[in-house]
Structure 1
Amino acid sequence: MKGWLDERLHTSSLLQALFAHPVPKRSNFLDYLGFATFFAFINQAVTGILLATVYHPSASGAYASIQTLQNSVAGHFVRSLHSWGANFMVVLVGLHLLRVFFAAAYKRPRELTWVMGGILLIATLGLAFTGYLLPWDQKGYWATTVGTAMAGYVPIVGDFLVRLLRDGTQVTGATLTRFYSVHMLVLPALLLLAFLPHFFFVLRQGMASTDELREAEARGEDVRKISRPFWPDVALRMAAFVLLVGAALWLLAFLYPKGLGAAADPLNKAHFTPEPAWYFFGIYQLLKYFPGKLDGLAMVGLPLIGIVILFSLPWLDRNSSRRAKRRPLALGLAGILVLGLGFLTYQGMNSVPKALAGTGIIAQPSYSKDIQPILHNSCLQCHANIATYSGTLKRVTPGNPQASLLYQHITGSVQPQMPFGQPPLPKTQIQTIKNWIREGAKNN
């Protein structure tokens, strides 16, 4: 059977590339972060499939299906494993990227390996973000409201992106269905499509740590004195590290099981403070250091610059050396960036977040960004002339909300209460409209 497979698939050369190569003796557990990340993905895939057998991806059934899982010992533990596994995967991917950067393993000839790794990072963050909404609880609902509102700061196409993400202007059951589809189908496919070439490149080019062995061999040195065989020495150490990561994951899932808060409430009667998932807190916290007119720079500009630098790094860094001592500028800038992001994340977790358009009450609303989307979503189907600012202005008295016909109808002080035949507007939206009228109903 072995010969039959080898003749058709050349398995011997594949196994040799996997196992029959030396590794420097100075290698440590940081070199195994990539394998640990792959283990975390397998955990997410297995637990995700198990959860999908019970989960109902609809606004009416999602929360109840999670409650069913919570009432089962096995179901509760599987959900905790999946939730903790998502955090593990985000952290491990980040640490693996930093390790590769420190070792300068993104340089020639491994540029494409780095690019595929960048795609894996983005896909992992996307999986974590889309999965946050699926329990349909308050925390997930408002984190998604904040996260999708961030897209609204993209110039020109911001409103389109928000509608694309939410499948409308607000986070609804349609958003939940869209996120579930992306979480279960699109992002796993993207992750696998990036992982396969990433793994292939590693097989073909070898790990960066083996480059010094090739250099030593070229100098005529005996590499056996400074290396150890991958199989079984390093393979067993790698397996032990993965078992340690797995044990930590299972222990945390057992000691700190994932809870379930109150069901999602778009009216926010409990006054839940809208905030993003923890991995967005650094960017979110930046808003507090930028005046309102520069929110787009903090929310879109800086992250976009970071992504461009991430993918173009192998070509931007012209320093041919891989030694840390000879790369003070690159490592210094990276250190400042990591420490700064960590500090901002810590600050964001321990402070009151800044409100975003579309996430709560807006103190000084913009007509185009805050008011018009509400009116288009709730009023346009019956009141076509409210589509424009001039049409809206006919229904308001600038500076006096109580005298404005629009405000009287949406609050129910004048019947029929609008939007007719639908639930009343959320109190946050009503207060935002009131603030806009009080501020003079400006066309801003």
Structure 2
Amino acid sequence: MTNNCTDHYSKFLFIWFGQFISIIGSGLTTFSLGIYVYQQTGTASSYVFILMCAFLPPFLLKPYGGILADRHDRRLMMILGDLGSTLGLLFIFAMMLKGNIELWQIYLGIAISSVFSAFQEPAYKALITDLLPENQYAKASGLMQLASSAQYLISPFLAGIILTIMDIKFVFLIDVTTFLIASSIVIWIRKILSRTQITKQEQNNMADLKEGIQEFSKNRGIVNLVITTTLILFFVGLLQSLFIPMMLNLTTVKAVGTIQSICASGILVGSLFIGVYGSKNKYVKTLSISLFVSGIFFANLGLSTNVIFITLAGFMFFSTLPFINTAIEVLIRKNIENSKQGRIWSIISMVTYLGSIIAFAVAGFLADKIFNPLLESDGLLVGTAGLIVGSGEGRGIALMFIISGIMISVVALLIWKNRKIKQLDDVEDKDGELSQNKYYVET
């Protein structure tokens, strides 16, 4: 049994590697197209619309992708998702070869690719439960987070080099190649594990979606955890929106890019640690402690104008995120029936993503109309909060970060006191060894 378990983990590593290089390829395309469109138009709105085309379709279609992931072979769903994503890239490539490509053609191509990713991602996440026993969930989650961070750390660096030595059209070919490699690996894994079968009931899509919502809502611990995660993502969304505007008031554009990369590299360190060593069984405790510490580091981003101090605080904040994400993911994963995980992960993803969407919608208003004016030279808080964060351009954002960090630490304490969430850890204690082998038996 141990040998089979190890063998399944090695198969997961092959799939993970394929997705890792595929994510890098997608990052190359997103970064390169963003630069291309901005250079052609000179407007930020054109660049932002690329991001909208990349992220909005998956957000809207994830519930349906989850339903399909529960009703069909998840490996087949991944193959179709990867191969389908190449269609949009090849469309953009063909339009560029014709010359005088228009913006709507770029947007359409990105949207086509992102539609297929909406069906690939839920299947990829749920596939972990098919292949691995519960005691390997944390390692797999850490590695998946490591792969996800590659598009922010590796892809921009590689794209910058590629664009200086060759035309942007070749970036699409590279991305298509990474998709083909990823799908080929899954095809191979599917062939050698062809005996793995998952029983799925034939239902209509609306019935499946309704069942997923009911399954999600009946576990109050999971509901509380997801609502809490949504709140956390709201504060993290403020950081994503306002970190660069704050830093541009303190240093140069080049330095801001370097600082952002160094800060984000904390995700790699935390993910690599979890991927190698795994995580402890008491995930609620891990979540509470990691979240409390992350809030302290978050608040420190606004306490000083010293660039080195801010960079260190940012690195430490991002290094805690993999521990938070892994704890949340494992708590949810081991409390949901395997056959329903695809659709429930999609629902959870949509609910939690609302926190980021709301943050993006209000961040600019809060910074420009409320907090920054309060800490300008004649602002109302110069003589109070200004003594801590300073006054002048961007210090209102710093105050927002301090408040956000404090709120995250408060949320950590609330999680520790929440009885329903703490009960999510009890599943392992009640089921013991049988619980750890449940998913292995099914695969």
* Greater RCO, CA 8 A, separation 6+: 2
Please, what TM-score do these two structures have when normalized by structure 1? Answer: 0.28
Between Structure 1 and Structure 2, the one with more helix by share is 2
Please, what TM-score do these two structures have when normalized by structure 2? Answer: 0.28
